[in-house]
Amino acid sequence: DAGITQSPRHKVTETGTPVTLRCHQTENHRYMYWYRQDPGHGLRLIHYSYGVKDTDKGEVSDGYSVSRSKTEDFLLTLESATSSQTSVYFCAIGAGRGTGELFFGEGSRLTVL
Amino acid sequence: GESVGLHLPTLSVQEGDNSIINCAYSNSASDYFIWYKQESGKGPQFIIDIRSNMDKRQGQRVTVLLNKTVKHLSLQIAATQPGDSAVYFCAETSTRGDMRFGAGTRLTVKP
């Protein structure tokens, strides 16, 4: 299995609180991604990174920010969590644009009450 | 807008039969098209990909077909087994490096 870990794996929080999810990789892959998965919507791209300090928005980036200060870590922050952000969040890593293969973490289940 | 989608949300097949899962896309500029398998409680796993300049690619028991004329992608699974039961996603990746997924098809294999 690819060396990718997400933390926390489960979190329950209240509306209006800040939340940070962490993705850590040991593969030295250039690309890192954050997706959310909801019933009926499949996987939707929130943000992705193509290098240290290089990030770009995905299709559902509103309400989320990311940071990548090191190759191995990609942080997803919800500045003020809302109930609509209750979801399962997946981090993925990829070697680059020359391949279609991403490796996914186990997911982080976030519940916003 | 640009999208990746699936024709059917569910597919049920008999063990040993062949399965075909379909996907439509609208972004002609994509580099790669990919199929992922997701089992319950796990993250998606890569199955096979195909580059935009190819029509067909085969793996172990799986074949991906790309028809650029009608913007259609399909995944064929030969001799479907109970372990193939899962949700299957097609995805596309653009020249920017982002990867976007369709809504998924749930494959159920009946013994």
In angstroms, the CA A40 to CA A25 distance is 29
The SS3 call for residue B84 is helix
The single-letter DSSP state of residue A85 is: G
User: How many Cβ atoms are within 10 Å of A30's Cβ, its own excluded?
Assistant: 17
The SS3 call for residue A105 is coil
What stretch of H or E contains B35? strand B32-38
Determine the residue of chain B that is closest to A109 in CA distance. Answer: B41
- The CATH number of the domain holding residue B78 is 2.60.40.10
Number of domains making up chain B: 1
What's the gap between Cα B11 and its chain centre?
13
For A14-27, letters b (16+ CB in 10 Å) and e give eeeeebebebbbee
In angstroms, the CA B70 to CA A68 distance is 39
What's the gap between Cα A111 and its chain centre?
15
Residues from B in contact with A at Cβ < 8 Å: 31-34, 42-46, 49-51, 89, 91, 93, 95-104
Q: How far is A42 from chain B (nearest CA, A)?
A: 4
Q: How far is B99 from chain A (nearest CA, A)?
A: 7
Q: How many pairs of residues across A and B have Cβ atoms under 8 Å apart?
A: 70
Q: Which domain holds residue B38?
A: 4-110
In angstroms, the CA B65 to CA B56 distance is 5
The residues that bridge with A102 in the sheet, in sequence order, are A94
Q: What is the pLDDT of residue B2?
A: 37
pLDDT digits (tens, 9 = 90+) for A53-73: 999 999 999 999 999 999 999
Determine the residue of chain B that is closest to A45 in CA distance. Answer: B100
Which of the residue ranges B6-15, B43-52, B53-62 would you say has the lowest mean pLDDT? B6-15
Q: Quick one: tokens of B107?
A: 């494959």
Q: What is the pLDDT of residue B9?
A: 81
Q: How far is B95 from chain A (nearest CA, A)?
A: 7
**Statement: residue B6 has pLDDT above 80:** no
**Statement: residue B4 has pLDDT above 60:** no
**Residue B1 pLDDT class (50, 70, 90 cuts):** very low
pLDDT digits (tens, 9 = 90+) for A6-44: 999 999 999 999 999 999 999 999 999 999 998 877 899
Q: What is the pLDDT of residue B3?
A: 44
Q: What is the pLDDT of residue B27?
A: 81
Pseudo-torsion of CA A45, A50, A53, A55, nearest 10°?
-30
* Domains by residue range for chain A, with CATH: 9-112 (2.60.40.10)
In angstroms, the CA B70 to CA B22 distance is 12
Q: Among partner residues A33, A42, A107, which is closest to B104 by beta-carbon distance?
A: A42
